[in-house]
Amino acid sequence: MSQRRASTGITVACAQMDPELGDIEGNIDRTERGIREAAARGAELVVLPECASGGWAFADRGESERAAQPLVGGPTITAWQKLSAELGIWVCGGFGESTADGALYNSSVLIAPDGVKSLYRKVHLWNTENLAFDSGDLGYPVVETPFGRVGMLICYDAWIPESFRSLAVQGADLALAPSDWVPNPHQPADMPPLAHVMVTAGAHSNQMYVAASSRFGVERGQEFIGRSAIADHTGWLLATAGDAEEVITASIDPVGSREQRRNDPFNRPLGDRRISQYSLGEVETGLA
């Protein structure tokens, strides 16, 4: 008698919130609320926004440093680890990272009930982030988990195609994207947020699931749109949020869908690449 194969599907959640600049303890409470709600709704994995630990709109490096914390022993990661162990839920979230050599990174972490599994440092800094953080130096790590191969990117990274592709060529099934999406000044009023376009394009062209958790609110005059989103491997949105505190969930199957994703007869954006024909050198930014 054949045995029934155990399901490989999981429920993933994005917990959208409004972190407060420099309020480490208050932000721990805010993230805890989101993590607990995600777990109560059956999620095995929850994604928190970018810089959920201490806010985003730092005036300078000194202010960023005062809100940053180490990966090991820092209050936010310690709190998330305790919640992960208590609730049996994996946690991905953004935090301001300080290192022993004085570097400051806009980072994200992936935590399992038994400990930290991966660290990512934002490679592509946006706008004034260059005043507050150093550029990431770890590349795009991909780690094996019970629910597939998982990598991370942060917000503006999604606008750089090489970010998703760097994960895809390592076999990533799922990209987690803590984000702080802002309004786009060129956005037509009758179109979906550009952030959703980037998420769906990244998911489709790299044949992977994407879970992007954004924040909402206003910080030092900078508006954030919320609109967290979860996309499947064909690029279609499974769940989206509004512009307030909210937890969204979706059922996904990163492991069970591998054969389907790699051998889709309609579009095979990874399998049909012709690498020999691509120019991958530096782009001349000063061209007329």
155 catalytic, yes or no?
Answer: yes
CA 103-109-110 angle, to 5 degrees, is 160
Rounded to 5°, angle at Cα 242 from 241 and 243: 125
Q: The dihedral of CA 12, 15, 16, 20: what is its sign?
A: negative
Catalytic choice (50, 97, 245, 246):
50
The residue from 14, 51, 92, 155 that is catalytic is 155
Q: Does residue 117 carry a catalytic annotation?
A: no
Distance CA 67, CA 41 (A): 31
Whether 92 is a known active-site residue: answer no
Q: Which of 153, 154, 127 is nearest to 140 (CA)?
A: 153
Hunting for tokens 């059956």 — which residue is that?
42
Of residues 44, 51, 92, 122, which has the active-site annotation?
122
Residues designated as active site: 50, 122, 155
